[in-house]
Amino acid sequence: MINKTFTKDMRETWMYGILGFLVFLLVWQAACVFTNFGKIFPTPKVSLAAFLQAFVEPIGRHTLLGHISISLRRVLIGYTLSSITGIIIGLLMGYSKLAHAIIYPIFCIIRPIPGIAWIPLAILWIGIGEPTIHFIIFMGGFSQMVMNTMDGAQHVDTELVGVAKVLGAKENQIFRKIVLPSSIPYIFTGLQTSLSTSWMAVLAAEMITAREGAGWLIIAGMQTGRIENNVIGMIAIGLVGLILATLLRNAERRLCRWTVRSR
């Protein structure tokens, strides 16, 4: 009985899902055929063909996969740097009240500035090139990383720390055995949000300063009037975003099984 309703439920999920998708495609197609929308926007069929073609035929200097991997490499560099520095500074501020008092007021000046807003400054400071893009991605993820890690280090169970002190643990033992492990779930939340802002920052940076990459692909599509490139770029960007988020969520499930919150 339970099994039967379950399969019925599954069947409905698929049915309505496919229905929704078909309606979406139909509206898209109809809009292209019957309205002015079609003059600037490709039909679903043309978009799909262009998407598949982009895997073999280069757009600009690279194929679609080439552009994506360039963007991913940039994200990887900026994101790794911002995560490492963010975690260190966050732990420091969360654990030591003195460090918090010294760093936090200065950090508060840069915290509310979105990573993307650093683009013009970064160009003036570093010039146009890879380091600028890395810097922008760095700034995009940095403050979230610091805030989340700090939050984690501040929410350590004080009873545990007390017990450790009574049993004669040294400062660095407390830090390594208690503060660090209990901050890890917070650090993972930080890693997840900062990855998606990094992915967004690289797009914006590439739209403004780069000559290749996923962000360049969609802005060039706009500038040359080849909207299908734009559509392809967005499909690819969405897919990559989805894959990145899924990877991190799985990593979290693996690495800190003891605290994974139900999602």
Partner 1 sequence: MKEKTKYIIISIVSLISFILLWDLVSKSGIISAKKLPAPSKLFETFIYKLGNKNPDGNTLPIHIWTSLKEALIGFFFGIVIGVPLGISMAWFKKFDKFFSPLFDLIKPIPPVGWVPIMITFFGIGIMSKVSVIFIASFIPAVINSYSGIKQTREVHKWVSQTFGASNRQVLFTIAIPSAGPMIFTGARVALNGSWVSLVAAELIASTKGLGYMIQTARLVGRIDVVFVGVLVIGVFGAAMMEGLSFLERKLVKGGRRS
**Positions in the binding site for partner 1 (CB under 8 A):** 12-13, 15-21, 24, 40-41, 97-98, 100-106, 109-121, 123-125, 196-197, 199-200, 203-204, 207-208, 215, 218-219, 221-222, 227, 230-231, 233-234, 237-242, 245
Cβ atoms 240, 218 nearer than 8 A? no
Closest to 137 in 3D by CA, of 188, 90, 73, 199 = 199
Smallest distance, Å, CB 44 to partner 1? Answer: 12
Q: Which is nearer to partner 1, 169 or 245 (CB)?
A: 245
CA distances from 190 to 14, 94, 136, 186 (A): 34, 14, 17, 6
Q: Which is nearer to partner 1, 239 or 255 (CB)?
A: 239
**Shortest Cβ 28–partner 1 spacing (Å):** 11
Residues 123, 132 contacting (CB under 8 angstroms)? yes
> What is the closest distance, in whole angstroms, from the C-beta atom of residue 234 to partner 1 in the complex?
5
Distances (CA, A) of 262 to 66, 157, 182, 258: 37, 21, 17, 12
Identify whether the C-beta of residue 94 lies closer than 8 Å to the C-beta of residue 187.
no
Q: Tell me the residue type at 149.
A: T
Min separation Cβ 3 and partner 1, Å: 19
Q: Which is nearer to partner 1, 227 or 256 (CB)?
A: 227
Nearer to partner 1, 84 or 102 (CB): 102
Residue 85: CB minimum distance to partner 1, A: 18
Measured from the CB atom, the residue of 17 and 129 that comes closer to partner 1 is 17
Within 8 A by CB and 6+ apart from 262, the residues are: none
Residue 62: strand pairing partners: 59
Alpha-carbon gap, residue 240 to 231, rounded angstroms: 14
